Structure 1
Amino acid sequence: MKRAALWPEHLLPPHHVPPPWPGREVRLDGTVTYVRDTPATSADAEPALYVHGLGGSSQNWTDLAGLLAHRLDGQAIDLPGFGRSEPGRRYTIPAFAERVVRWIEHSDRGPVHLFGNSLGGAVAVHVAGLRPELVRTLTLVSPALPFLDFRRSLQGRMLPLLAIPRGERLAAWRLAQLAPEVMVQQVLEACFADLTRISEQRRQEALEEIRVRYEAAHYTAAYVRTFRGLVSSFLRSYLPGAGSMWRIAAAVQAPTLVVGGLQDKLVDVRVAPQAARAIPDSRLMMLEGVGHVAQVEVPRTVARAVLHLLAETEEAGRRSDMAG
């Protein structure tokens, strides 16, 4: 593990707030996966794939994907049951990873530069650890890798739901009691350290995303079942066996950037450094005054770290070619 470095700020595109990138429905293995494309702005851009967190969607990558479009031809997917994708049969890390693998194979764009935030970070580690030939580089933003002290997460309040039969019904009832505007405020306060960093445009987009959730009959079940699957993966990671996320992380071969926010309210802030220590070729960036979604809260900083990772990886490839 080493400290992440930053690409020069002045080499990034000028600041602006793009609208969400256009999306499309793709039928994959009998169900619809929703995909947003961020077209590359240069001919030599390489393929990238972005995977959102629990309760998030492909829109969570709008700003970062735009900042990287001169280097990366981006696609962001909605995981089954989230965003505008149809529900899935299983809501576990391996099941989500299988969908990501299937998308990479279906799109015939691999290997990709793979990005994951929170739940998406755990999914991305699973893909990179078990299918290394599909991943060029790996970027993890507040990855939801195992931790057992749920007092360090606002999600700990959901643990009782997992012990209640059909707990998703209680979650659906609770959701129905909250106005979309109230839910948006709660989500933003949980995910961001500094709410002043949220533009009015992004706030309105978040409100529209919440309304989509309210209209999706499957959403609360998908959320609760995914949270149950995530907690189960945490517990298995501290038991013997090949399913441990930490053992999978140790098998990751791709050059990796791990980003954590020191004011993260959802994932224990000790997880990002632990992930960087577990992954062999890793760089760590911990951000003061930043919460759970650094790619949304401080996208230019994250973009600079990603661009330095890409430059470093290219240079290592050139040296390897010369040595060969």
Structure 2
Amino acid sequence: MESYASVTGSGVPLGAQEWPARQVPVAGVDLLVREVPGVAADLPPALFVHGLGGSSLNWTELGLRLSDTVRGIAPDLPGFGRTPLAGAAGIHEQVEVLIELIERECGGPLHLFGNSMGGASSVALAARRPDLVASLTLISPALPHPRVSASALWFTAVATPRLGRVVLERTRRMPFDRRFRASLAMVFGEPRLLPAEVRAAYEAELRRRDGDPWGMQATVEGARSILRSSVALPHRSLWAVAAQVECPVLLVYGGKDRLVDPRIRTKAQRSFRNARSLYIPQSGHVAQMEHAPQVERAFRQLIES
């Protein structure tokens, strides 16, 4: 099925092949940064930015598929993945970390990819530092949506002082298997189609995160940041910021996304100066994991044009 990568010669699906990792000191914390292996040093750089509760592992397959075109790196942002929390964990703080990482590791301009909250941070970065960004690919970006949804209510609950920790504590006390199934259903459009190895890797990462002492605080602060961005005054909103982005933009939305309403894609395409969109009816919130071949093709078309 084309929605998922076929196995490589090693017999392991691309989505389960972890990139090598190293520690990079950025903004007062040792940031875990993964780098696509075996890539020519003269290829243009690319930066892959995960969403709230995600990690660099969310980009494994897409980065490998594009290894003939870009030299990709993907960080675990502070408070997520394997990078400890250092200071606040909101959109503004992520932009500061990413700018420092780009200037240290990549220079610019580079191809910037962002998913969910990482998409919101990427929009803010591209508007603030257009000299660093050659193209912007946004997969289910967390841009403000006027419709009240179940996910919006969840973010509101988690972002509320004291209530957020109660909600997350109750969730953590649930049996892991139940939480795992709920996470699959929330993030993926068709979780039953995930290759067994990719599903196992996703499960292993969720189990590992249970032991991270900073996970709850990072989630609460991230949710608060997303909520604040959704109620900002129009001239300060992420939609106003999006209108300032100068580079070509690719917008990717999934028809089965339970966290970002795909109906917002029309407004998103109008808001950016130079945007094209890819709509994948069967995809959920992480199209780069579920439908990497389609995202890959759309990105190649973006930069070729």
TM-score, reference length from structure 1: 0.86
Q: Deviations over 1:112-154 (max 9, x none)?
A: 1000011111011000011100001110001110113232x43
2:228 — aligned with what? 232
Name which of structure 1's ranges 170-179 and 96-105 shifts more when overlaid on structure 2: 170-179
2:153 is the counterpart of 1:156 = yes
2:267 is the counterpart of 1:274 = yes
1:29 — aligned with what? 27
Q: CA RMSD in A?
A: 1.8
Q: 2:291 aligns with which of 275, 298, 307?
A: 298
Q: 1:122 aligns with which of 115, 120, 123?
A: 120
Q: Deviations over 1:265-323 (max 9, x none)?
A: 101212233222111111111111111111001100100101111211xxxxxxxxxxx
Q: 1:134 aligns with which of 124, 128, 132?
A: 132
Q: Deviations over 1:136-179 (max 9, x none)?
A: 1110001110113232x43523423433x333431442233123
How many equivalent pairs are there? Answer: 296
**Contact 2:19/2:60 (<8 A) preserved:** yes
CA distance change for structure 1 residues 27 and 43 in 2, over 3 Å: closer, same or farther?
Answer: closer
CA distance in 2, matches of 1:251, 1:270: 22
Secondary structure in 2 aligned to 1:215? Answer: coil
2:163 is the counterpart of 1:170 = no
2:189 is the counterpart of 1:193 = yes
CA distance change for structure 1 residues 240 and 259 in 2, over 3 Å: closer, same or farther?
Answer: closer
From the CA coordinates, give the structure whose radius of gyration is larger.
1
CA distance in 2, matches of 1:273, 1:22: 38
**Contact 2:24/2:33 (<8 A) preserved:** yes
Secondary structure in 2 aligned to 1:257? Answer: strand
1:3 — aligned with what? none
CA distance in 2, matches of 1:289, 1:98: 34
Secondary structure in 2 aligned to 1:266? Answer: coil
2:51 — aligned with what? 53
Secondary structure in 1 aligned to 2:182? Answer: helix
2:173 is the counterpart of 1:183 = no
2:68 — aligned with what? 70
Q: 1:219 aligns with which of 204, 208, 215?
A: 215
Secondary structure in 2 aligned to 1:150? Answer: coil
CA distance in 1, matches of 2:270, 2:155: 29
CA distance in 1, matches of 2:6, 2:158: 45
**Contact 2:158/2:223 (<8 A) preserved:** no
Secondary structure in 1 aligned to 2:247? Answer: coil
CA distance in 2, matches of 1:186, 1:112: 35
Secondary structure in 1 aligned to 2:203? Answer: helix
Task: Tell me which amino acid in the other structure corresponds to 1:285.
Answer: L
Task: Tell me which amino acid in the other structure corresponds to 2:102.
Answer: I
CA distance in 2, matches of 1:36, 1:64: 13
Secondary structure in 2 aligned to 1:270? Answer: helix
CA distance in 2, matches of 1:252, 1:295: 22
CA distance in 2, matches of 1:96, 1:301: 28
2:99 — aligned with what? 101
**Contact 1:50/1:75 (<8 A) preserved:** yes
Task: Tell me which amino acid in the other structure corresponds to 1:214.
Answer: D
Secondary structure in 1 aligned to 2:118? Answer: helix
Cα drift, residue 240 of structure 1: 4.5
**Contact 2:158/2:165 (<8 A) preserved:** no
CA distance in 2, matches of 1:121, 1:40: 27
2:304 is the counterpart of 1:308 = no
Secondary structure in 1 aligned to 2:261? Answer: coil
Q: Which runs of 5+ in 2 are unaligned?
A: none
Cα drift, residue 224 of structure 1: 1.4
Runs (4 or more) in structure 1 with deviation over 4 Å come to: none
**Contact 1:42/1:71 (<8 A) preserved:** no
Q: Which runs of 5+ in 1 are unaligned?
A: 1-8, 313-324
Secondary structure in 2 aligned to 1:35? Answer: strand
CA distance in 1, matches of 2:276, 2:66: 19
CA distance in 2, matches of 1:14, 1:240: 45
**Contact 1:56/1:82 (<8 A) preserved:** yes
Secondary structure in 1 aligned to 2:270? Answer: helix
